[in-house]
Structure 1
């Protein structure tokens, strides 16, 4: 049972965080906003100022879970969904800003226009949070009349964004899709395989290590060889710095030979890091648990994956194969589909806690990629980062397949 004090402790910091993130990005001007194009549907929708009433009722709608959800874990999951939607959307608002291209004025919406700028358009937070809120709330409503009333309210809020011309159909659709996806990621039932060795990702004693024979000493997998890890990390840093320097010089001087040497050097550095990442699936690499976690997550980001998602997918593959090595063709397909296979597998088969961790890591990865894309040119990122990642991953799979 969730107490009033617990509800307040969740609602107050979450509300403050939403306000800071939203209005902070709304009034930022680091990057020029891209206008959202008007579609035929947008031009056919009339401007109706009176819809400002359901538009503002959105803020009341967001509070309804506090009054109908009484289980602590469910309320925390709902708060996490709110935070995930707002954080991811605000990253998009800041680094990839969009704005509505139409402007209407009326005395009824004068107050709205004074606080709501035309930026922060796509994805629509009104649409994503309203849908997510309605889905979370209706789980706890027993009366069909109340459910119908909730959905009518939600539809009026979303429609109000179009009738007051504060959003376009494109960003409303994006918001609806995003809100629905987040709800499914958090509240969908966990899928479990029927066959294979019984290794459950729910088991806290076994989910952090691969399938091994019971006669092996489990503790040996968790021994920390700090010197070896430090040496491998030093090799990664040295080769990465050298490769990046050569690539930058090669791009500046248009030298193909130097560029090839730089890409190969960076590939070697990433191969050594990939070896560390794979070892991190089986044991703790550094004595401090927090630093071990941070290092593994950041290493996963370099390969555009979530380490937690990689671990869940790794355990599931071992469980389904019974510890046997996959054939060459399957590994090649895994390489080609790895950006999709890893998150989909983790979000489908992971526990509720793992799902939230995976979602958090991918939200942070979106932030990291946005910073890099806004800081460096695409050409530099492809040469210094993307190509070496592809080459290192391909080489890794070829080596492990032929062993």
Structure 2
């Protein structure tokens, strides 16, 4: 094969893309997360109506409380930062940001008008200081749909799409989904959510991700790997 037509390695493509618009990516991501947390905790404290306690299912009983799931749960905030880092144009970054904002805003509106809460887990959180801190900071409200799950699956779908665009190997695609579903699993394993919250979050995240991919801002690029 002619050297000029050989595919550039996927990792080299990524290394080339990440520095593009790095200020917009970094500041935009941090600003978005900060604004989201402000709105999230506001809605958590002043919902329009009393919270509905979500029901426990068989799946919730099968998945026991697992303290080691906490780092995976917290890793969402790294995970959701990856898709924007792999976008190369301002048009794509703005389109992605609008889509993620719309998704989270939809969840916050649901939380405000239909507040829900996860049931008490009957765990002595004082024996688990890290989890005790999380429980005191993020109480069991704003439960359904789980925005933790929604943003994880939204990011997972976009990462899969972008990694395939770069011609990423099978192992990196698998790693992406292992991480994504690890975060989803951790929402139950840390007792922050129940299975019904997870299911609703999955539906909302999948629908939002695929709708975002249909927007004009996000379909103007060839998905084939870059070539020399």
- The corresponding residue for 2:146 is 124
Tell whether 2:51 aligns with 1:33: yes
Question: Tell me, which stretches of 5 or more residues in structure 1 are unaligned?
Answer: 189-350, 354-403
- The corresponding residue for 1:150 is 176
Cα shift readout 1:331-388 (whole Å, capped 9, x = no counterpart): xxxxxxxxxxxxxxxxxxxx637xxxxxxxxxxxxxxxxxxxxxxxxxxxxxxxxxxx
What TM-score do the two structures reach when normalised by structure 1? Answer: 0.45
Pick from 27, 31, 47: which aligns with 1:13? 31
The alignment's C-alpha RMSD in Å is 1.8
Is the contact between residue 130 and residue 158 of structure 1 (CA under 8 Å) also seen in structure 2?
yes
Change (3 A) 1:13 1:53: closer
Is the contact between residue 52 and residue 164 of structure 1 (CA under 8 Å) also seen in structure 2?
yes
Change (3 A) 1:49 1:12: closer
Q: Give the SS at the match of 1:166.
A: coil
Q: Deviation of residue 29 (structure 1)? A: 4.5
The 5 A counterparts of 1:297-376 are 352=216
Tell whether 2:206 aligns with 1:186: no
Question: Tell me, which stretches of 5 or more residues in structure 2 are unaligned?
Answer: 1-16, 218-228
Q: Give the SS at the match of 2:75.
A: helix
Tell whether 2:140 aligns with 1:114: no
Is the contact between residue 25 and residue 85 of structure 2 (CA under 8 Å) also seen in structure 1?
no
Q: Give the SS at the match of 2:117.
A: strand
Q: Deviation of residue 85 (structure 1)? A: 1.3
Cα shift readout 1:240-272 (whole Å, capped 9, x = no counterpart): xxxxxxxxxxxxxxxxxxxxxxxxxxxxxxxxx
Length, aligned pairs only: 191
Distance 1:8 1:54 in 2: 22
Change (3 A) 1:69 1:37: same
Q: Deviation of residue 4 (structure 1)? A: 1.5
Compare 153-162 and 15-24 and name the one that shifted more: 15-24
Cα shift readout 1:111-153 (whole Å, capped 9, x = no counterpart): 2112110100000011100000111122222232222111111
- The corresponding residue for 1:89 is 107
Cα shift readout 1:165-191 (whole Å, capped 9, x = no counterpart): 111111100001100001111103xxx
Q: Give the SS at the match of 1:70.
A: coil
Is the contact between residue 65 and residue 75 of structure 1 (CA under 8 Å) also seen in structure 2?
no
Is the contact between residue 21 and residue 87 of structure 1 (CA under 8 Å) also seen in structure 2?
no
Q: Deviation of residue 84 (structure 1)? A: 1.0
Distance 1:29 1:179 in 2: 23
Distance 1:138 1:97 in 2: 32
- The structure that is helix-richer by fraction is 1
Pick from 50, 57, 74: which aligns with 2:75? 57
What TM-score do the two structures reach when normalised by structure 2? Answer: 0.77
Is the contact between residue 52 and residue 116 of structure 2 (CA under 8 Å) also seen in structure 1?
yes
Cα shift readout 1:166-221 (whole Å, capped 9, x = no counterpart): 11111100001100001111103xxxxxxxxxxxxxxxxxxxxxxxxxxxxxxxxx
Structure with larger RCO (C-alpha < 8 A, sep 6+) = 2
Distance 2:206 2:83 in 1: 16
